[in-house]
Each structure stands twice: as structure tokens, then as C-alpha cells.
Amino acid sequence: MSVELVSKSKVNSFNAGLHMQPHFQKVAKGGEDAASVSENVLAVADGVGGWAESGIDPAIFSKRLCKNIDELVKKSENYVYDPKRLIIDAVSQNHETGSSTCVVVALDKNKPLIYTANIGDSGYMLLRKSGLDLI
């Protein structure tokens, strides 16, 4: 007879997908925005369109930023608890010319907590069904 032990610890994770809908004038190049989706971290970067006036594609910076976020989150779970450090490290590793807003929301795996960081004028909204407790 075998007995399977089931952990009673709660594991939180996002059940998310990603679909980018660029402005109709920017569809050909895929838009200027980027996003990163992982089990416990969501990030959105909105490339600053003003760079186009200088001949620089604003999408390159925002896409590299989100790629860096993906790579850093895969390397260390500690970024879940410090999204500000995640943004700082992702920007410091981004050698592209440009800028973007950035919003990061990270979900603690075991506690009913989220950690967030935001740079620029983008934001996020947390919605849940009425009457649902997080615990």
C-alpha cells in the first residue's frame, strides 16, 4: 500500500494569458508596448512614443525591458518579494536607447499578498468578486 502525502501549504499563482492589441497605426511593427507573464509576476511596459521623433523605435526598449524581467524572474524567486529591485535590475541590463513606463505586480506564493512597483504614468487595478476573502 502506498500513501501519497499532500502538502497543506497554499500555493498562489496567476492564471493569466497575454494578448497585445497595438494601435491600428502601429500594428505592422507590433506596437510599442510589451508585457511579461509568469506564474507569479506580471509586468507591462509602455514604450514612450516620443522617441520616434529621434528615429528610435520605442518598442525596442520596452520589449527588451520585459524580456529582461522574464529572465531575472526565472533566475531568482526573490524578485517576487521586491518588484522595485526587479525593475531596477531589468533597466540596468537594458542597453537599448529609449524609455518606457513599467508596472510590475508579483503574487506571493504562500501568503495572500501582492507586491507592486510602478514607474511612469501607467497603473493597475485589483478587482475581485464581492464577498471573496483572500484567506
Nearest to 78 by CA among 63, 62, 91, 89: 89
Q: What is the pLDDT of residues 55-99, one digit of tens each?
A: 999 999 999 999 999 999 999 989 999 999 999 999 999 999 999
The pLDDT value recorded for residue 2 is 42
DSSP category for residue 50 = G
Q: At what angle do helices 58-75 and 83-92 cross, to 10 degrees?
A: 120
Task: Work out the average pLDDT over 111-132.
Answer: 84
Q: Please say whether the beta carbons of 80 and 41 come within 8 A.
A: yes
The pLDDT value recorded for residue 112 is 84
Beta-bridge partners for 135 = none
Tell me the domain boundaries of the chain: 29-119
Q: How many angstroms separate the CA atoms of 56 and 23, rounded?
A: 18
- Tell me what the pLDDT averaged over the chain comes to: 86
Q: What fold is seen in the domain 29-119?
A: Phosphatase 2c; domain 1 (3.60.40)
pTM above threshold 0.75: yes
User: Would you call 82 exposed, middle or buried from its count of C-beta atoms within 10 A (0-12, 13-18, 19+)?
Assistant: middle
Q: At residue 7, does pLDDT exceed 50?
A: no
The pLDDT value recorded for residue 3 is 45
CA distances from 65 to 60, 94, 118 (A): 9, 6, 14
The pLDDT value recorded for residue 93 is 97
Least confident of 28-37, 95-104, 105-114: 28-37
